[in-house]
Amino acid sequence: MRNRYVLKPNRSLYLCRMKNSRIRNIKKELLSDNWYTLNKFTFEYQKDDSSWETQHREAYDRGNGAAILLYNKRKGAVVLTRQFRMPTYVNGNEDGMMIEVCAGLLDGDNPEDCIRKEVEEETGYQIDNVQRVFETYMSPGSVTEILYLFVGAYEDRMKVGEGGGAEDETENIEVLEIPFIKALEMMASGEINDSKTIILLQYAAMNGLFV
């Protein structure tokens, strides 16, 4: 059954999901929509002893996203990006810089179209063929986002621009072409510590993309 929404006078949104019989009376309250959306959910959860308890959770909704590992088998290289990430800077990352695969929010596009657009904006490569390998919740305890993970082959001839990100998004992205073996070493040493990038590098190693 599809989700049913009922708007109450206090503007809270009640969501009834019929797929899990241990969850009932879900109340959704908007806390903030300053950038993306932060909601508070109040619901009843049935415990193993069959009793019901009220629980509260907050969930940040920034939409779904896509990410891709660009690889060149002949050169034995991958294309990654480097940019400043404020949330990491305030939580232990000394300079706030992160090395990552190309990624972006869907913003209404399907995942394949989104990632092709992001690749050109961020790296300057124009690619056609992308392969979806995973769909993953990156932080299921607090963020609603589904991230669609891809791999895609690139060639030098596909370079049509400098990349660096969209001008209106203040990303200041540095494009890196790194030997795949070096990228694995950087992952092992902690120099690459972004989860989506680690997942895709491990996928490449386990599935022989460079063999």
Measure the CA dihedral 130/136/138/139, to 10°: 160
Q: Which of 102, 84, 81 is nearest to 94 (CA)?
A: 84
Domain co-membership, 73 together with 50: no
Q: With contact defined as beta carbons under 8 Å apart, do 24 and 32 qualify?
A: no
pTM greater than 0.85 (yes/no): yes
Domain co-membership, 136 together with 39: no
Distance CA 144, CA 60 (A): 6
CATH number assigned to the domain comprising residue 94 = 3.90.79.10
Please write the tens of the pLDDT for every residue from 167-206. Answer: 666 778 999 999 999 999 999 999 999 999 999 999 999 9
Cα 23-24-25 angle, rounded to 5 deg: 145
Residue 211 lies in a domain: no
Please write the tens of the pLDDT for every residue from 142-175. Answer: 999 999 999 999 999 999 998 887 766 677 899 9
Domain co-membership, 121 together with 153: yes
Distance CA 149, CA 136 (A): 8
Residue 112 lies in a domain: yes
Distance CA 169, CA 165 (A): 7
Q: What is the CA radius of gyration of the chain?
A: 20
Which among 61, 86, 105 is the end of a domain? 61
Please write the tens of the pLDDT for every residue from 62-98. Answer: 999 999 999 999 999 999 999 999 999 999 999 999 9
DSSP-H helix ranges across 59-100: 86-89
Which of 6-10, 33-37, 82-86, 114-118 has the least mean pLDDT? Answer: 6-10
